[in-house]
A and B are shown apart, each in its own frame.
Chain A
Amino acid sequence: MLRERVAELVSKASGGDLTVADILAANCSLPALGLTSIAYLRLIDLLETEFDCDVDLDGGHLDTLDGLVEHIAGQRK
């Protein structure tokens, strides 16, 4: 469920340019999928608000959907 919700937020951050289905199916990084810098920043804000967490940009692996999901899941433990 978390993965789907993060994908929805990625889609929202992209202003709808990326669909949830494409994001879930992608096996590449979010920038490679077409997520721009500004959309990525929007996404970080959305994630922190929704999950009440700190997304550390130096944390690594935050450029993929699964990396973000893992990072958030780790913070919620």
Chain B
Amino acid sequence: MQAKRRLVKGNEAIALGAVAGGCDAFFGYPITPQNEVPEILSQEMPRHGRVFLQAESEVASINMVYGAAAAGMRAMSSSSSPGISLMMEGMSYIAGAELPCLVVNVMRGGPGLGSITPSQADYFQACKGGGHGDYRCFVMAPWNVQEMYSFPGIAFEMADRYRNPAMILADGVLGQMMEPAAIPDELPVVTRPDKPWATNGRNGRGQKNVANSLVIDPYELRDHNRKLQAKYAAMQAECKWDTRLVEDAEILVVAYGIAARLAYSACKLARKRGIRAGLFRPITLFPFPTQPLVETADGAKSVLAVELSSGQMVEDVRLAINGRLPVTLYGEMGGVIPSPSEVCDRIVEAAK
């Protein structure tokens, strides 16, 4: 299939990637910095005979996603941090009812109304549950516009495979920046699993289907939770990560998303200053690539986590490294983006 490279905005890539990934229905509510996603999908979805509907709120959006997902559709919403907070109840229900869906978070600064500038401060919310109860989402973190295009399809596939909500955790930079990306002209053929559990009308089916997260008997609910936990454990097989310059690295920098772009530039700068720095980039944030990180860190002197938060991903890094090496953090907050040379200074510090 012809895939010409052209200049694409991150949010546009998410929208086009969702269409290519077989999204049947999108429900969303405006919020900066992700507005291009619904704007583009409001055109693209009807053009392909699919559903786009602007909801009255993020609360309604995620519950429309719940209904569409229950009906067997590839359903999706996108939002930014405050809006994602509003969706957390619905995400918990969707996870509890074991339904697949995709939610994109183009993160902005918080807490509260915060700012509209880029941030990675929603890592805990995305990776540690976010809503109530013991559940996890499958979380992917793109670092360029090409991945903004390709990840929605992968995320839908994972969501269907595990009957579980998937998230794409992007940020205001990735959403708003333009760079070349290969976008095929034709929509790819998407294979979908059968969904015999879908509440789409019995239509001859022998039994009714019920989409539900209510399990009133504590022993049954315990069994349901055990089943969910087994599913999250099985997801470990889907870990994805990327490494750069790590073969001889004495300092291993761990970063995801836009922070990984900065960190990679910083690693190259550090090498010019005589410090062998390498990058480990988790692509799936849940499941976190723990074992690959441990193996990559083998031989390094120390680990530096770089993220646009007060230090959230670093907790998973420390759990993985488990005291074997010193782990330090460079966390920038409030929507401030450090320059590669500022990150490089931290690498130099970590090398002392």
A and B are interacting partners:
no
